[in-house]
Structure 1
Amino acid sequence: MFRVGSRRVQRLVNGRLRNTAAEVQSVVQELNSSNVSLPFSRANIGPFFQDQPRLDNQFTQDITLKTYLKRHVPKQFLAEIETDLELFGGRVATDIYDLSLRCEREPPYLEHFDAWGKRIDCLVTSPAWQKLHDISAEEGLIAIAYERKYAEWSRLYQMCKLYLFFPSSGLYSCPLAMTDGAAKIIESIQDKTPWLMERAYRRLTSRDPSQFWTSGQWMTERKGGSDVAGGTETVAKLQPDGSYTLHGYKWFSSANDSDMAFTLARPLDDDGSTIMGTKGLSLFYLEVNDENGNLNNIEVQKLKNKLGTRQLPTAELLLDGTKAFKVSEDGRGTAAISNMLMLTRIHNTTGAAASMRRIVNLARDYSTRRQAFGNVLKNYPLHVQTLARMEVETRAACLMTFEVSRLLGREDVDVASEHEKQLLRLLTPLAKLYTGKQCMEVVSEGLESFGGQGYIEDTDLPKLLRDCQVLTIWEGTTNILSLDVLRAIAKSKGKALQSFHEDIETKLASAADNGDLKTAAEKVRQASGTILQFAGKNASSLEFAARDFAYSLSRTYMGSLLIEQAASSYASESDVYTAQRWCEKDLTPVSSHFSNSAYTQDATDSNFSLVFDGYLHPSRL
């Protein structure tokens, strides 16, 4: 409140004085002589500024992550891993986060020509982006997994570190995902291509910034992303020295400042023909620049103008005689990239869980600072209820991420059982598709918790939502991955689904003596049985039901992970409460929709009629 010195001043402020020029001047003189201060006058814009949310150490705050590590990592490794994660958790909230903000302010751009008209296609990135390259090497964000210093837990350690890094990475996490996948490919084919271990693998896994390489993944062409068998038009022409030249157009290629790339192409036979479909695809290794530092017969046509991930250079590339080397058997290109796809999907899952954790942490802190209607937000039960629901989703996503990473680590060092391999194959597409959807919901809700500030670009909050949208698209959309889940089950002749069921039973057994978890455990057990029964009796409906089926598998497995965590000796009351709340939801939407006749031919026809009701071009149907 402020005070004014006279009745005339009060009348002016209250609008009850005829404001002639002379009267106003007289009042102003009176105010100046009496040293009365009015708000919002001249340069005074008021004393209040909203306190922004603040990041603390992102590892020490993460109870779910810390508990999971304590449950699984042997004590001889745990202390060293935790120490590094705590140090890194501080960095991602400070200097690394500042670099990510700079990457957003300084997006990449393309210089097609030099001052004299020569085509150079020079990609210019922010110094902050280049610094993130060096940090990625120094922190071992790829190296950790391949040094295998911590045996089977090396991969889990690496993914936990990437999980902390992702929201502050300025999207440098994208080239790291493809680099990780490239290293995995080279490691898997080293017996056939030993030269690649020296040429590329040692650089992809280096901790020396001057040696560290990143890799691209150039699979998407104009005809579409997931359908590489029908969409790949790039051809490969054999050269006398055994290399190939590639000729094609890559329509969506991310991280174009990478040093190398793997790509699919169709080798030409002696008649200049190719084999169409999957059987005609082979995998090729190429380096982006030649020995003189010039582009390897690659023309960068344009940079993509994207909804999000603006920090990340994504381009359309014309390959016009690009030198490359075939590294798979003829017709085995898609099989050869399976390791890369598995890893990039797990990276995608990690990014989704990390984004959820970041927005929840920010919203939680903001609730202790923002006052409305006479109280801070944390004192309003409805607001805390909303944050709690976000927290439940986040913890489930995090546990799914860590569990898949743990299984991959066992496969890395060849100690995974056949049961675990089948489980990993099934869980990878499930984790990617479901966490992508969770992320969009949680981050959107998180922005809403900031009110209008959540919509202001200057706060750095909208970027989280824009960047998260790609996580439902990269490495396969929800429907594509749902069908991949069915392929995993079919290819294993049902063994993957049986492994899924058995693993859930094992996890639930840990809660057998916990009365607080009895109801939740029984619901998950019933859900797992329902899924098995549905798959057995409704094989003909599975493709139509694939999305709901994948959701049912995901929710049920996440329920078992939450219960297992809540039943451990490291658990808190919050872990128990999280498991209880998660299991209140419909764990098997596939069963619920089936009961409503959602997968019948009549439903198919009705869906089509509904979607195209009023469509003005029936000739195209």
Structure 2
Amino acid sequence: MTTVEATGFFQDAPRLRDEWEDDLALQRYLERVLPADVRADITPALAEMGLLAATELKDLADAIDTREGEPRHVPFDAWGNRVDRVEPHPGWERMAEVAARHGVIATGYERAHGPWSRVHQFALAYLYGPSSALFSCPLAMTDGAAKTLLGSGDRELIDRAVPRLTSRDPDAFWTSGQWMTERTGGSDVGRSETVAVQDGGVWRLSGTKWFTSAITSQMALTLARPEGNDAGGRGLAMFYVEVRDEDGRLNNLRVVRLKDKLGTKQLPTAELALDGTVAHLVGPPSSGTRNIAPMLTITRLWNSIIAASGTRRGLALARDYARRREAFGGHLIDNPLHQTTLAWLRVQHEASLQLAFHAALLLGREEAGEASEQERLALRLLLPVTKLLTAKQAVAAASEAIESFGGAGYVEDTHLPVLLRDAQVLPIWEGTTNVLSMDALRAIGTEETVTAYAAEVRRAAETATDDALAGVGKLAVDAVDHASAWLVRALDGGPDIIAHGARRFAVTLGRALQAALLVAQGQHDLDVHGDRRAAAVARRFADEGIDVLDEPGRTAAADAALARDEAL
């Protein structure tokens, strides 16, 4: 049989070279915020992770991102025994090993660099995440569980779990799940139907957990309602669960099925039935939604960092492809219209990076006991705003990135569609955009919180000495001042008026701080390098618009009619 060789043109695939060396935005950010000795100390670790992410881990992630690489649920063994074994791709073990050995969790808890340790940790996570085949998800929950347990004061659980959750030894390292969502609703956890019954020195949980990510983790934190407690979130308590006993048997729970999802297909996400699952109470037997807040603080920040790094990955691949792709008599990179697309992607990336890492910076300062009261107040509002905004930017950027490849961006075996499939979960996990908008309003509490947040905007904006950057800084300050005034007027209109504008309020706060931080970065790059690239990013970001607010309630009646499809 004769084999006919294909001839003619073959397009080069996009390639990654070195995710640390090629990421000028990350390097310049760290140069701006870190002391020189800290930066010098952590750079080798970041360089090693950046190279791994572009080579071995990227190849492994591509191998996992296939139909054959999706996790498998084995409910029974050959003899009919219920085993509920979940088998992810074997490459997940390597992802876990790299995360442990490189301290992607441990760095945040060793605190070798004091208040800068979280920036170091999240720089590692940022480089690792896009090539981790979604192992970043269990890492986020692991980080959140460690922080939550440390804050609980429960010495027995801390001593048992935290050393494992923060270990650098792959053989000792544990990951954690987070079992919150039930059939009654995702974000409305107060409607939980899982019941907790005290049985001697332990509790037993019964109910269904509808959506549990990373079911292969060794432990989880979850919510349940102790018998006799009131309805709603205040009647829930937080519990610690180990998934299997020392003999590997499941802890009185069944894996009902694995979820068939739009994206994050590499990640084993299960529906669980708890039937007397042994658990340990963490904290008081009520107010569980409040007690689990430290976990949400961390997982929302991870979501933001992964959003920024995912946007960076789309930009890196699109830019490399544009240098290789010949069309219409030249390379795409030289086409003025395509240049605007790549420039827009760069702006989304750098805006997301600045906001997410600013949250990491303030968190590190708070954990080291060095944050001012103003910074602590600002952080409380910054976290939901950052998660909300970076997630939306990541989805838009992923869509634009795969479009820049034309038809190749829509073909699964190019491993480009995964950029969009996996980005789409970012505005959903850890609170949807609307839920986070309301969380931002709840985080305000008093006028002092908005004042503290506005001070962060001013501090960054006022670094500008360049006229163009000062102009962007003024727009940022004007936007946050308008948001503060809007809130006062909206409060007079009542809860429905506040809720109607909550999303635009949160977006305006986020974009104001993004603009101000881009100004600070632009001024730094001008002063240190004589380079106007970051200044151009700030200007282009401002041109997109910073303030998206209108008068409180101006369109509320029309929006209600349109939503209900009623006559106006």
Q: Distance in 1 between matches of 2:144 and 2:34?
A: 24
Correspondence list, 1:74-113, <5 A: 74-105=35-66, 106-113=69-76
Structure 1 residue 199 corresponds to structure 2 residue 171: no
- SS of structure 2 residue aligned to 1:471: coil
**Unaligned runs of at least 5 residues, structure 1:** 1-40, 616-621
Q: In structure 2, what is the equivalent of residue 381 of structure 1?
A: 336
Q: How does 1:221-260 map to 2 (within 5 A)?
A: 221-229=182-190, 231-240=191-200, 242-260=201-219
Question: Quick check: 1:67–1:570 contact (8 Å CA) kept in 2?
Answer: no
What residue in structure 2 maps to residue 440 of structure 1? 395
For residues 457-496 of structure 1, the aligned pairs below 5 Å read 457-489=412-444, 491=445, 493-496=446-449
What displacement does 1:542 show? Answer: 2.1
Cα drift, residue 496 of structure 1: 1.3
Q: CA deviation at 1:585?
A: 2.4
Aligned 8 A contact 1:542 1:549 in 2: no
1:70–1:570 contact (8 Å) kept in structure 2: no
2:369 counterpart residue number: 414
Letter in 1 for 2:479: A
Q: Percentage identity across aligned positions?
A: 43
The residue number in structure 2 matching 1:360 is: 315
1:522 aligned partner: 474
Aligned with 1:573 (options 525, 528, 532): 532
User: In the aligned structure 1, how far is the partner of 2:421 from the partner of 2:371?
Assistant: 37
- 1:507-564 CA-to-partner distances (Å, cap 9, x unmatched) read 12211x3223232122222222212221222223322100111111111110000001
TM-score by structure 2 length?
0.96
Could you tell me how far apart the structure 1 residues matched to 2:394 and 2:196 are? 39
Residue pairs, 1:115-154, within 5 angstroms: 115-154=78-117
Query: How far apart are 1:160 and its partner, in Å?
Result: 0.8
Which structure 2 residues correspond to residues 54-65 of structure 1 after superposition, within 5 A? Answer: 54-65=15-26
How many Å separate the matches in 2 of 1:612 and 1:502? 40
- State the number of aligned residues: 557
How big is the alpha-carbon RMSD for the aligned residues of Structure 1 and Structure 2?
A: 1.5
User: Which is higher, the Rg of structure 1 or of structure 2?
Assistant: 1
* Gaps in structure 2 of 5+ consecutive residues: none
**C-alpha distance in 2 between matches for 1:266 and 1:534:** 39
Q: How far apart are residue 291 of structure 1 and its match?
A: 2.3
Task: Give the conservation status (yes or no) of the 8 Å contact 1:204–1:214.
Answer: yes
Deviations 1:553-589 (A, max 9, x none): 1111100000011112336210111111111222111
Verify: 1:544 aligned to 2:497, yes or no.
no
What are the superposed Cα offsets for residues 581-616 of structure 1, whole Å, 9 maximum, x if unpaired? 11122211113xx2xxx724xx4343333233389x
1:102: Cα distance to partner? 2.1
What SS does the corresponding residue of 1:166 show, helix, strand or coil?
Answer: helix
Shift of 1:127: 1.0
Contact 1:262 1:285 in 2 (8 A): yes
How far does residue 50 in structure 1 lie from its aligned partner after superposition? 0.2
Rounded Cα–Cα distance in structure 1 between residues aligned with 2:5 and 2:244? 57
Match of 1:261 among 197, 220, 235: 220
* Partner of residue 343, structure 1: 298
Indicate conservation of the 8 Å contact 2:385/2:509, yes or no: yes
Supply the distance in 2 between the matched residues of 1:482 and 1:415 (Cα, whole angstroms): 28
The Cα shift of 1:42 comes to: 6.7
- Asked if the contact 1:71–1:570 (Cα under 8 Å) also holds between the matched residues in 2, the reply is no
Q: Which residue of 2 aligns with 1:608?
A: 560
| Distance in 2, Cα, partners of 1:258 & 1:343 | 18
Residues 250-288 of structure 1 deviation map (CA, whole Å, 9 limit, x = unaligned): 0000000000000001111xxxx3321122111100100
- Residue 130 of structure 2 corresponds to residue 167 of structure 1: yes
* Distance in 2 of aligned mates of 1:295 and 1:501: 50
Q: Distance in 1 between matches of 2:479 and 2:503?
A: 16
- TM-score, structure 1 as length reference: 0.88
| C-alpha deviation, 1:104, in angstroms | 1.8
Separation in 2, partners of 1:525, 1:423? 15
Distance of 2:211 and 2:217 partners within structure 1: 14
Residue in structure 2 matching 1:557, options 513, 517, 524: 513
Counterpart residue type for residue 416 of structure 1: A
- Report 1:386-397 matches (<5 A): 386-397=341-352
**Quick one: which amino acid aligns to residue 433 of structure 1?**
L
Q: Find the aligned partners of 1:414 and 1:210 in 2 and give their Cα distance.
A: 32
Structure 2 equivalent of residue 32 of structure 1: none
- The Cα offsets for residues 328-371 of structure 1, whole Å up to 9 and x where unpaired, read as 11212111111100100000001110110000011111111000
Distance in 1, matches of 2:564 and 2:114, equals 55
Contact 1:508 1:521 (8 Å CA) reproduced: yes
C-alpha distance in structure 2 between counterparts of 1:476 and 1:570, whole Å: 39
Cα distance in 2 for partners of 1:378, 1:604 equals: 44
1:517/1:563 contact within 8 Å kept = yes
**CA deviations over 1:227-260 (Å, ceiling 9, x no partner):** 111x2111111112x2101111000000000000
Q: Distance in 2 between matches of 1:75 and 1:251?
A: 48
